[in-house]
Structures are given as structure tokens and as C-alpha cells.
Amino acid sequence: MHKLDRNFYKSDAILLSKDLLGKCIARKINGELLIGRIVEVEAYKGLIDKAAHSYGGKITERTKIMYGEAGYAYVYMIYGMYYCLNVVASEVNVPEAILIRAVEPLQGMETMSMFRYNKHYDELKKREKINLTSGPGKLCKAFNITKKENGYDLCSEDFYIFTPESSDNFNIKESKRINIDYAEEAKDFLWRFYIEGNPYVSK
């Protein structure tokens, strides 16, 4: 198990987003480790990107975490109901982040299932098992990520990203980002990346 260090995150959002595919998110809750493999991400580059909350260098209470050091969590609420997890990228005062859009659950599925559905994992239908973590709002529910985790240091002991011991090869596909129709020319940027063929990639 190799935990990603601060320097790993001090990278351009597009490069880092691709580097994060295949890595694993780990979160320790009540002594239990929940683990998910990152299979889908989107890059947001505030200075030039009309889809980004920090577009044009806009600093607000919500966006300020993205202006700090890389490797911290940016968690925001969306549509009044869901949270989305991002990893802050790049350098101080360059507001970039990677939206974690989907993970493949590897460990702690029973606990994830209770957070997400309040049902036991072995009672889930096939579709519900896929839907456990196949979207940005879904994975936050499964990992119990809320506003409390905004600003959390991912170079820490109980919430971090690591390189798995072994991993099959995979192909990276790219596409336009999801649900940013308001973003004018930026909506056509190919800044969504995912692992080809993985069933947990969002639809």
C-alpha cells in the first residue's frame, strides 16, 4: 500500500485526473476501512474554465479551499440533496480540482450499503449494487462524505488515496464533462476521463 503524498497532488488538474484513475480512495470510519477504486473523474481549472466554481479566480466561502495547497478535499452540496467530492490540485492560488465521479467498491461494502440504502449489501439487487458508487452523489452517500469533510487533508490517516499493490491494465477514455450545459465553450472540453468498460462508470 502506497499512500499518495503531497507532491503527487501538486500537478495540473488534467494530468492529475488521469493519474488518479485506478488509484484507491480509503476512508476509515469507526475503525473500519472503506475502499473504492477510482474509475471516473473530471478536471476543473478555475482560471480558464467556465464550468468551474472558481472560474476567473472567483473566491467565495465555498471555493476558497481550491486556492490552498493541493491534496485537500473540496466537498460541496449540489441540488440541495447531494454532496460531491473533489481533490484539490495544482499550486497555491491556482484553483483547480478533480471531481471524483465514480468508484468501484472494493472493501467495506456492507457499511457502504447501510449508508446508501439503509439495507444490507446481500439484500441488494444487482442494479442497486452497481448504483452503490456509480456517480458523484452516490459515492459520497456510500462513503458518508458530507460538508464535514470539506477541507479535509487527504494526506492524513483516515481519509486518503493510495496506489493498489497490483492492478490490471486499463484503457483511459475521454469525453465531455457531464451537466455543465451553462459553460459555453468549456462544455466541449474533453476533461472527463474514465476506465473503459468499468461497470461503475456513471451513465
| Chain residues in the site for DNA (CB under 7 A) | 42, 44, 51-54, 58, 60-63, 74, 76-82, 84, 86, 97, 99, 131, 135-139, 147, 177-180, 182, 202
Residue appearing with cell numbers 480512495: 25
- Amino acid code (one letter) for 177: R
Distance CA 165, CA 2 (A): 8
Q: Could you give the angle at the alpha carbon of 103 between the alpha carbons of 74 and 140, nearest 5°?
A: 45
Closer to DNA by Cβ: residue 3 or 18? 18
Q: Are 78 and 137 in contact (CB under 8 A)?
A: yes
**At closest approach, how far in Å is the CB of 165 from DNA?**
28
Closer to DNA by Cβ: residue 167 or 188? 188
Closer to DNA by Cβ: residue 150 or 165? 150
**At closest approach, how far in Å is the CB of 35 from DNA?**
19
Distance CA 66, CA 91 (A): 9
Which whole-number Å values give the CA distances from 45 to 29, 78, 149, 178, in the listed order?
Answer: 31, 19, 21, 15
**At closest approach, how far in Å is the CB of 4 from DNA?**
19
**At closest approach, how far in Å is the CB of 93 from DNA?**
16
Closer to DNA by Cβ: residue 26 or 99? 99
Distance CA 80, CA 104 (A): 25
Closer to DNA by Cβ: residue 117 or 170? 117
**At closest approach, how far in Å is the CB of 169 from DNA?**
26
Closer to DNA by Cβ: residue 28 or 62? 62
Q: Are 158 and 6 in contact (CB under 8 A)?
A: no
Distance CA 38, CA 161 (A): 9
**At closest approach, how far in Å is the CB of 84 from DNA?**
5
Here the cell at position 158 is 483516515
